[in-house]
Amino acid sequence: MTTDLVDHVLQEVARRNEQFKPTTVNKLIELEIDPGTLLAFDKNDINLGELRQDKDKYLKDLTRDNTQLLINKIWELPTERRDEDIVATLPDPTYILPREKPLPKITMTKWEEFALEKGIRKTKKVKKKWDDILKEWVPTYGFKRRLAEKKHQWMLPVPANADPMEDQFAKKSAAQKERVARNEYQRLRNIARSNKTKVPSVGVMPHESVLSSRQLREAADVAVVSTASIGKYQPSLPLEKS
């Protein structure tokens, strides 16, 4: 009984040692490591016998050892603690990696060009501010801000030349929806401009009579580019010509 217990303990220790390997790895030729790009070059010869015997195990063990050496090199760099994490400062890379594709072209929107010309910088918005009338903290943006505005504007003045029976709340809501639609239209035009896509300047006016083939084709062209992607992911019609 004691012998079986000792054998079980030894097997468990061996299994745990296999699962948690040591951090020290011995190599005949030291690896060339570039911490700046997290690269490690192994110039040691491949053991063909172990590779033919069990290819997957040999490659996994080789990858694990080389990765351990790379991590050991990273731990030699200056580190600092940020919140609950330990961050290492990587040095400048010494190995230049080739790119598969050229660098993407940076295209700015109309607003970005205007902000760069005028020197406008983006500042962090304040999420909440104190309202002296409501005596509470209210959000500066979002749907909850609209609820706070409704508490403020429970009554709207009627202009002097306006119809006294006109609903001022409905008029204000319609004006707000119109501004939102105009901003969305301008946003889509900016996307089309950055992608160098031509869009019609005006829409298609409704017709009471039967539309001609030219008018139908024009309406279809306008409908295709009316999506958020300016028609990029719009499927083609069954008989549509490319």
Of 88, 110, 136, the one marking the end of a domain is 88
Q: Is the pLDDT of residue 211 over 70?
A: no
Bridge partners, residue 192, by sequence = none
Bridge partners, residue 138, by sequence = 129
Of 192, 208, 237, the one marking the end of a domain is 192
Tens of pLDDT, residues 50-77:
889 999 999 998 999 999 999 999 989 9
Domain that holds residue 65: 23-88
pTM: 0.37
Confirm whether 215 is domain-assigned.
no
Do 131 and 83 share a structural domain?
A: no
* pLDDT (0 to 100) of residue 81: 86
Contact 140, 126 (CB under 8 A): yes
Confirm whether 207 is domain-assigned.
no
Do 133 and 81 share a structural domain?
A: no
What average pLDDT does range 16-32 have in this prediction? 80
Q: Which of these, 76, 23, 70, lies nearest to 42 by C-alpha position?
A: 70
Confirm whether 75 is domain-assigned.
yes
Confirm whether 72 is domain-assigned.
yes
* pLDDT (0 to 100) of residue 209: 57
Confirm whether 52 is domain-assigned.
yes
Confirm whether 50 is domain-assigned.
yes
Helix (H, G, I), strand (E, B) or coil at 137: strand
Helix or strand (DSSP H, E) at 211: none
Do 136 and 83 share a structural domain?
A: no
Of 36, 71, 88, the one marking the end of a domain is 88
Confirm whether 203 is domain-assigned.
no
Q: How many domains does the chain have?
A: 2
Tens of pLDDT, residues 163-210:
888 888 888 888 888 998 889 888 888 888 887 776 665 555 555 556
Confirm whether 60 is domain-assigned.
yes
Tens of pLDDT, residues 115-150:
989 988 888 777 888 877 777 888 887 777 777 776
